[in-house]
Structure 1
Amino acid sequence: MIKRFAPFALLLAGPALAQAPAPAPTPAPAEGPQRPLSLQEGAALKCSAAFAIAAGPQGKGRVSLDAAQTARGKEFFVRTSAGIMDGARWPRERVAAEIGSIAQVLQRPGELEAAMSPCLLLLDASGL
């Protein structure tokens, strides 16, 4: 019996549903105007790139991180990237491109080694 009246009920409810305002869509974190990175965000992004290099084969023989520092560095990388996507409203592609360009600079002789000491301090200060 209910099956027989369901189309009729939809026919009656149609005009009421059409008049109801549509809910406003919630913007995704990457939408909206993008802003430049703050000094802290830029430093954190540089350190994220440094930790990524240090954890990979390019860092072997250049810097030495223990297993705990490597794991914390990876988490720092993830949280920094997500924070920039949310806070600065940068899309994932832009964050990845910026990390890539920073990594290019860190590949130069002495750059990774010079960056690692302040980055380890920032890692400790982050509480991770």
Structure 2
Amino acid sequence: MLTHLLGAALLAVSAQASPPAVSAQNASLSQESKALLRCSAAFAVVSHGQSISNEAALKWPPLDTRGREFFVRALAQLMDETGLDRAGISQLVSAEAQRLWDDGEIEAVMPACLVMLDASGV
């Protein structure tokens, strides 16, 4: 499951815009769930960058273990909340990762996401 979900998020950098149904689903999420989604997507993008020695990604703490665990737990929670299956959650997180990448927001969200990671106990 982790490989499938993480792979989908990491491929988001080259994905096209999300279908309208995914955008509508994202809009109906609670603020907490939106934060989980945003941070999961950011962690996936940064973790991938770290795995290929991207200089910008390497400035953040290593996310290979804790970031992946956060990702899995957060997306499981989102699956429960939304009723989406793995494919639906993959689309949701891929669209968010693409949005963060396109809007250049990774750097801006990472500090708050790292606080969220620490608070999660992962």
TM-score by length of 2: 0.67
Counterpart pick for 1:37 among 1, 22, 29: 29
Question: CA-atom RMSD, angstroms?
Answer: 2.3
Q: Which consecutive residues of structure 2, in runs of 5 or more, have no partner in the other structure?
A: 1-24
Q: Percent identity, please.
A: 39
Residue 99 (1) aligns with residue 61 (2): no
Structure having the higher helix fraction is: 2
Deviates more, 1:51-60 or 1:69-78: 51-60
For structure 1, the residue ranges without an aligned partner over 5 or more in a row are 1-33
Shift of 1:90: 1.6
Aligned to 1:22: none
> Is 1:53–1:59's contact at 8 Å kept on the other side of the alignment?
no
Q: State the one-letter code of the partner of 1:48.
A: S
Alignment partner, residue 123 of structure 1: 117
Q: Secondary structure at the match of 1:73?
A: helix
Partner of 1:65: 60
Which has more radius of gyration?
1
Count of residue correspondences: 94
Q: CA deviation at 1:59?
A: 8.0
